[in-house]
Amino acid sequence: MIAELASSPLDGPLVMRLLVIFVSAAVTENILLTRFLGMCPFLSISRQMRSAFGMGLAVVFVTTCTVVINWALYAYVLKPLEPYGLPAESLKLILFIVVIAAFVQFMEMAIERISIRLYFALGIFLPLITVNCAILGASLFMVTHVSGRQFGGWDALLYGFGAGVGWFIAIMLLAGVRSRIKEDSVPAALRGPGITLIVAGIMAMAFVIFQGMIKL
Amino acid sequence: MNGTPQQRVTAGRALLEQVWNENPIFRQVLGICSALAVTNLVFNTTLMCLGLIWTTTMSSLTVSLLRTITPKRIRIMVQILIVAVYVIVVDIVFRAFFFETHSQIAAYVGLIITNCIVLGRLEAFANKNKPFPATMDGLGAGLGYSAILMAVAVVREVLGFGTLLKGTAWAVQVLPLSENAVWWRQWTIMVMPPGAFFVLAMAVWAAKAWAMRRDGERAAAATGGAS
């Protein structure tokens, strides 16, 4: 997936490196529009700006935190134990999903305390965030970056944050477009998911174009 | 636990419903997350689909067998772990036999764990039904899902690369490649991410138009019969 460039932008100074990681995670490798992760909530919750905003923020927060936690577990627990016969590559799947599920559980309790309105607005989608592919996806792609080149803690933080922000941008844009086309005369059979996919495709074109400029 | 009408579903019916009538992608556009990204090559898609069919079938069976002893409160977590076990099996098998392809799709194979269809079927059907219908339901969900992904993959690869099964020993050049082609040259957009959205949107459009027409005819027949 990632082109092996001879002189990567990652070789530059730290700030530059972090910026490259952030922008490419958020835009050119947008987890939703170029990797199709987190499509289910993307399609079902993007009817209203309000709930899209809440879900987007939740995803940013959860992705950032879980990518960092999973990075630490992968780099400091699984990898060092691999020479001793631990099947790190298989075990990471179970470990990551358990970390994510536990974290979401914690967040659900926190949101219930902080804002009961947000809690009811998100309703069924809060538990579903555990199975939001974008969140596990961010962790799994983080691992491919780790094994491709040395990915440090700050890199993982920025990568997770970038992936979350990318998802947030995409769902907000889509919610905006959808609220605009609600009254338009879309062909009956194309209403709902059909037109949403086409809109997402056009948005994806805009995001993918930047791949020529910046690439992780 | 038993007695409600929805629970008495025959195995064959469960299979058919999932493959066609209630096909999860067309009806709800669910579960495209983990596999849509690999649909620019038919071979990669085939592997993903096989992995998915295996996972849905086996995890439906397992969840159904364990449904009476699984505590209600932690059932989602139990289901996810069951799915994860089967996904790891897929991951290991692919790594052993299809190393080249596996290195491209490894992350997406792992993402089968969070595929909405797998968990949706477990939650909606397998944890309320007997093992055999549940297995058939899972198999049907996997097959119905694969049928659509394969269709998307064929369209994308043929229009994008002009080939079928590119990257394998059975690669075929379906459309001729030439510099001064008049009627077709590689549609690069098809193998890039936006292509998947467009092809899937067309498929959803066609399926929904067909379903609406059928429902319309049925309604017309029903009113005609009544009058």
**What is the ipTM score, two decimals?**
0.81
Site from B204, B212, B214 to mutate, A interface, most A CB atoms within 10 angstroms: B204
Using the Cβ of A208 and the Cβ atoms of chain B, whether some distance falls under 8 Å is answered with yes
Q: Out of A38-47, A173-182, B213-222, which region has the weakest mean confidence (pLDDT)?
A: A38-47
Chain B residue numbers touching A101 (CB-CB < 8 A): 77, 80
Interface of A with B in 15-54 (CB under 8 A): 33-40, 43
- Phi, psi (degrees; rounded to nearest 5) at B10: -75, 155
pLDDT at B113: 86
Cβ separation A133–B80 shorter than 8 A = no
Using the Cβ of A137 and the Cβ atoms of chain B, whether some distance falls under 8 Å is answered with yes
Average pLDDT, chain B: 81
Q: Is residue B128 one of the residues assigned to a domain? A: yes
Q: Is residue B51 one of the residues assigned to a domain? A: yes
pLDDT at B221: 79
* Residue A121 scores a pLDDT above 80: no
Q: Model pTM greater than 0.80?
A: yes
pLDDT at B29: 66
Please give the residue range of the domain that contains residue B99: 9-173+187-222
Q: Is residue B22 one of the residues assigned to a domain? A: yes
Cβ separation A36–B32 shorter than 8 A = yes
Higher pLDDT, B110 or B116: B110
Contacts of A211 (CB under 8 A, 6+ apart): A28
Chain A residue numbers touching B100 (CB-CB < 8 A): none
Cβ separation B114–A141 shorter than 8 A = no
Q: Is residue B91 one of the residues assigned to a domain? A: yes
Chain B residue numbers touching A186 (CB-CB < 8 A): none
Q: Is residue B155 one of the residues assigned to a domain? A: yes
Cβ separation A140–B88 shorter than 8 A = no
pLDDT at B7: 47
Chain A residue numbers touching B91 (CB-CB < 8 A): 89-90, 93
Cβ separation A193–B119 shorter than 8 A = no
Cβ separation B212–A127 shorter than 8 A = no
Q: Is residue B105 one of the residues assigned to a domain? A: yes
Higher pLDDT, B3 or A42: A42
Give yes or no for a contact between B159 and B115, defined as CB atoms under 8 angstroms apart.
Answer: no
Give yes or no for a contact between A167 and A57, defined as CB atoms under 8 angstroms apart.
Answer: no
Residue B137, burial from CB neighbour count under 10 angstroms (0-12, 13-18, 19+): buried
Q: Is residue B40 one of the residues assigned to a domain? A: yes
Hey, what are A165's tokens?
Answer: 């922000």
Cβ separation A189–B88 shorter than 8 A = no
Q: Is residue B3 one of the residues assigned to a domain? A: no
- Condensed to tens digits (0 to 9), the pLDDT of residues B134-192 reads 999 889 888 888 888 898 899 988 888 877 887 777 777 777 776 666 667 778 888 88
Provide the pLDDT confidence category of residue A40 given band limits of 50, 70 and 90: confident
Cβ separation A194–B205 shorter than 8 A = yes
Q: What is the mean pLDDT of residues A12-19?
A: 80
Cβ separation A133–B198 shorter than 8 A = no
Identify the CA nearest to B139 among candidates B19, B7, B9: B19
Distances (CA, A) of A58 to A27, A33, A37, A171, B201: 19, 18, 15, 12, 28
Count contacts between A and B (CB, < 8 Å): 125
Distances (CA, A) of B190 to A158, B44, B152, B154: 31, 16, 10, 11
